[in-house]
Structure 1
Amino acid sequence: MVVLLANSKEIQMPLWDMITRGGPVMIPLSVLFLISIYICIERLWAFKKANEVQKRFMEATQRYLEKSEKNMALMSFCKGLNGPQSAMIDQGIKRMGLSTAEMREAMNQRALLELEKLERHLSVLNITGRIAPMFGFIGTIIGVITIFYDISLAKTVEIEIISKGLYQKMITSAGGLVVGVFAFICYHILTARVDRMEQRLHEAQEEFLDLQSHQST
């Protein structure tokens, strides 16, 4: 990090130096930040794989419905894909011959289970977005306490005395906000992905039931 002074000189402020000067509160903030990064990347990868699986899925399903021994072929096809959409359709295939309401209920239950899998760890991001600024506030309080404690020992007020506590106060405040904002943004991006997947599952369910009803008539 580079800071420009009034005389146009530059001062290099290493990131690691900023973190260590933030005090012990930076430890949980750093852990929360790393966890948030991991969850965000892992969930984005999970959504990417789910989207790849469901790409052109209903076109392939329609082709299988037109073949002989369509139930067994479709079941093998769905299990091989291993995605939310195929897992839901598999439940409908297993109940072919039953009423549409029974098929829909089974598919709805499976869709809910698949959505819960996609929502895994999102609550951690939500909690992190809420508590990270609080950790920053705790660091701010500790910094203020440090300032007054150092002043009481020195019996005088000088910039060198208060700079340590002030530095800690500002670093932890900024760190808490950065971690909180990052987790908050990741949480809402991933939640939007879950909502879109829910809509796609609903559309796939209706399309499958419509195809199945046409094939059975």
Structure 2
Amino acid sequence: MFSLIQLQADTIANAASNVIIEKIATNNEISVLQFILKGGFFLIPISILLFYTFYLIVERYLYIHRVSKIDALLMRDVRDNLHSGKLDMARSIAERSNTASGNIIKEGILIIGRPIIEIESNMDRAADIEIGEMEKHLGQLGLIAGIAPTLGFIGTISGVIKIFYSISVTEDISIGNISGGLYEKMISSGAGLLVGIIAYSAYHLLNGKIDNFALKIQKQILEFVNIIQKA
């Protein structure tokens, strides 16, 4: 009889302790948004940089993807019209393509009749302009890649200074007091590094697309010059 009573008491005690533990765990759980907001003031400029980074990535990608298209049929149509002596038609075809390569070929068609070196030089200048348009604002991504991690680091340092100031005033050097404040302040460093990685990666990937276009357009310029020489 005594054993039965003891077993029931242990069961009730275990159940009660489990309820208390679950209640404590539930109370300690926080949402992702609440966790992020613990990062402090410096998360505001980092968040602004994040949204601006995404805007730049989307805007530049769409623009570069649209103008850097190389139409394989464009050069064939231009060549056929040049061989037939239809310069206006060849220029019209290049304009209708609405791409960077079309604009560059058009610049070459406009000065047909001049020395080859002038035509090639004019097309190279046009290519430089088009590439410059593609690279517009990409420098800002490179700047963000450097600024965002720095802002995060400053936010963490600022938080650490406040923690040690609080310790000097309250003389409370408990692990909970230090680690609790420190993990909150390190959120800004993590956020800054994340934004920096996104901006850095996008900067180099978009520049890679531009470099690929530059190589292809040089091949087209060479092909255009060869067409003129054979015409």
Q: TM-score range by the shorter chain?
A: 0.7 to 0.9
Query: What stretches of structure 2 of length at least 5 have no aligned partner?
Result: 1-21
* Partner Cα distance (1:15, 1:206) in 2: 56
1:4 corresponds in structure 2 to none
The 8 Å contact of residues 143 and 167 in structure 1, kept in 2 or not, is answered as: no
* Partner Cα distance (1:163, 1:56) in 2: 65
Residue 48 of structure 1 deviates from its aligned partner by 1.8
* Partner Cα distance (1:97, 1:14) in 2: 71
The 8 Å contact of residues 68 and 100 in structure 2, kept in 1 or not, is answered as: no
Counterparts in 2 of 1:179 and 1:209: CA distance versus 1, 3 Å:
same
Identity across matched positions, percent: 31
Structure with max Cα Rg: 2
* Partner Cα distance (2:32, 2:145) in 1: 22
Per-residue displacement from partner, 1:19-64 (whole Å, max 9, x unpaired)? 3211111111111111111111111111221244635322232233
Counterparts in 2 of 1:91 and 1:165: CA distance versus 1, 3 Å:
same
The 8 Å contact of residues 150 and 161 in structure 1, kept in 2 or not, is answered as: no
The 8 Å contact of residues 21 and 168 in structure 1, kept in 2 or not, is answered as: yes
The 8 Å contact of residues 91 and 110 in structure 1, kept in 2 or not, is answered as: yes
2:6 corresponds in structure 1 to none
2:83 corresponds in structure 1 to 66
Amino acid paired to 2:161:
I
The 8 Å contact of residues 134 and 176 in structure 1, kept in 2 or not, is answered as: yes
* Partner Cα distance (2:179, 2:199) in 1: 30
The 8 Å contact of residues 53 and 141 in structure 2, kept in 1 or not, is answered as: yes
**1:121-136 equivalences in 2 (<5 Å):** 121-136=137-152
Amino acid paired to 1:108:
D
**1:13-162 equivalences in 2 (<5 Å):** 13-52=30-69, 54-68=71-85, 70-162=86-178
Comparing 20-29 with 91-100, greater Cα deviation is found at: 20-29
Aligned with 2:184: secondary structure?
A: helix
Comparing 145-154 with 31-40, greater Cα deviation is found at: 145-154
1:212 corresponds in structure 2 to 228
The 8 Å contact of residues 107 and 123 in structure 2, kept in 1 or not, is answered as: yes
* Partner Cα distance (1:183, 1:35) in 2: 10
The 8 Å contact of residues 147 and 164 in structure 1, kept in 2 or not, is answered as: no
Per-residue displacement from partner, 1:163-188 (whole Å, max 9, x unpaired)? 55313321011111111111111011
The 8 Å contact of residues 147 and 165 in structure 1, kept in 2 or not, is answered as: yes
* Partner Cα distance (1:44, 1:110) in 2: 21
1:3 corresponds in structure 2 to none
* Partner Cα distance (1:55, 1:46) in 2: 20
The 8 Å contact of residues 140 and 170 in structure 1, kept in 2 or not, is answered as: yes
* Partner Cα distance (2:32, 2:104) in 1: 47
TM-score by length of 2: 0.82
Residue 78 of structure 1 deviates from its aligned partner by 1.7
TM-score by length of 1: 0.87
2:182 pairs with 153, 166, 179, which one? 166
Per-residue displacement from partner, 1:140-192 (whole Å, max 9, x unpaired)? 10110121122233321234533553133210111111111111110110111
